[in-house]
Amino acid sequence: MVFSIDKSVFDILPTLCVGVVVAREVNNTLPRHPEVDELLDAAIADAEKRLAGIKASDDPRVQPYRKAFSALGMSPSRYPSSNIALLRRIAKGKGLWRVNPIVDLGNVISISYGLPLGAHAMDLTHETLELRFSREDDVFLELGATEPDPTLAPGELVYASGKLVQTRRWTWRQSENGKVDASTREVVFPIDGFADTNATQVRSACGELVDHLTSIFGCFAEVLFADADHPTV
């Protein structure tokens, strides 16, 4: 597995760092997992207490992402980072939906730390994941869609595997082609942060995710860490 951040990204986000958890031999065949459900219930309850009386966008942990979206020319209100979107639901008393145990575990880590976290089903032997600006021939298939999204334009910060865009607008919306489901056996979890504000939290989140993956799912998991000094890992 190779993960890379294009050097041009650091021209706009110089302190960007990404912790990447890579999981192999995952068994995600159960529709629900009691231990993951318990973790998610606890994380939601903690988030509800933290967000009591405030908007999700006022949480100090999400401010670096709002600033980064603005620096990238994207409205953080119109295109909320995934961590803000999850916290918004909780702040409004809507809780969180259950998807499947692996995705639910990712949501546990995201809302516990206030960090954006993606979960991408990938072939770790043949595919690579990169964070770069979109190109003319890139393709994005929205979740549930059967035809490519025609609104994708060059110059948008995306997670991509080859020409397939895995996540649009950096950490805003994931694709159908990288969807984690019951058949998924290999997963890549990027966790985005900033060296000057929350890199320690990113590393802690990666470590906790690895612990849960190995103890609950019995799979192999490791952490990669990319930043301006190490854009390819």
Domain that holds residue 56: 3-226
Structural domain includes residue 231: no
In a domain, 233, yes or no: no
The number of distinct structural domains making up the chain is 1
Reading the chain (233 residues) residue by residue, the pLDDT tens digits are: 899 999 999 999 999 999 999 999 999 999 999 999 999 999 999 999 999 999 999 999 999 999 999 999 999 999 999 999 999 999 999 999 999 999 999 999 999 999 999 999 999 999 999 999 999 999 999 998 999 999 999 999 999 999 999 999 999 999 999 999 999 999 999 999 999 999 999 999 999 999 999 999 999 999 999 999 999 99
Asked whether residue 31 is domain-assigned, the answer is: yes
> Is 93 exposed, middle or buried (CB count within 10 Å of its CB: 0-12, 13-18, 19+)?
exposed
20 in Cβ contact with 230 (< 8 Å): no
Contacts of residue 120, defined as CB under 8 A and 6 or more positions apart, other chains included, come to 129, 159, 161, 166, 167, 174, 178, 180, 187, 188, 189, 190
Q: What is the pTM of this model?
A: 0.96
> Is 15 inside a domain boundary?
yes
CATH code, domain carrying 15:
3.50.40.10
Query: Could you tell me if residue 232 is inside a domain?
Result: no
Smallest Cα–Cα separation from 101: which of 35, 41, 42, 47?
35
Per the rule left: phi > 0, alpha: psi between -120 and 50, beta: everything else, 201 is alpha
d(CA 189, CA 121): 9
Residue 215, φ and ψ in degrees, nearest 5: -80, -35
Is residue 96 in a domain? yes
Nearest alpha carbon to residue 141 among 131, 130, 152, 133: 152
Separation CA 96–CA 83 (nearest Å): 12
DSSP 3-state assignment of 70?
helix
